[in-house]
Amino acid sequence: MALITGGASGIGRAIAARFVREGAKVGLVDRNVELLAEVQGELGSACVTEVADVTIEAEIARAVARTVETFGRLDIAVNSAGVGDGNLIMLMEEEQWDRVHSTCLKGVFLSMKHECRQMAAQGDGGVVINLSSLNSQQPAIGVGAYCSAKAGVNMLTQVGAMEMAPAKDPRLRDRSGPDRHADVRICHGRSGRQSGVP
């Protein structure tokens, strides 16, 4: 059972289609009502959709809960929601910066928080995949907000992996136990092409 943010288009939509072909049930989260309905029509009963904004904690918490209510558990989470809004640093409006960072970084944080809580409550593991970008490590003119947000995703993912792996309770820091309740990974996207999903 999987949850995919940004699941109505691009990489998220392609991942959802592949998961369903492989036999998974998927919960899709997106702000685009029309595209979510389109994907629901394509994937049928293997899919449940939730119109939600990943930058609003109550909405992502509701999306996780709905996926679990529908399919019984959460085994895989793919955090794919993202936006790009480019401008030179000296010309960038504060609203542009905030929009990119809210979706690309805060949205991943809020999604991980509720996904990992659910996986911890289940007690038997799970996988969280955060989609990053080559621009997290490769700077480019005019994409300072996007580059820095995706670099933040990389570090948040690494911290999440350290915090979530060692115990069934994410608040525990004892590294001696063999149990893992979440495997948290970074995935660098391929320019948003659906063909980039194997």
Roughly what angle, to the nearest 10 degrees, separates helices 33-43 and 10-21?
20
Taking the mean position of all CA atoms in its chain, how far away is CA 28? 10
Which of 67, 146, 150, 189 is an active site residue? 146
Selection from 48, 76, 47 nearest residue 63 by Cα: 48
Unique residue bearing structure tokens 């030179």: 88
Q: Phi and psi dihedrals of 22, rounded to 5?
A: -85, 0
Tokens for 16, please give them: 């959802």
Is residue 146 part of the annotated active site? The answer reads: yes
Residues taking part in catalysis: 146
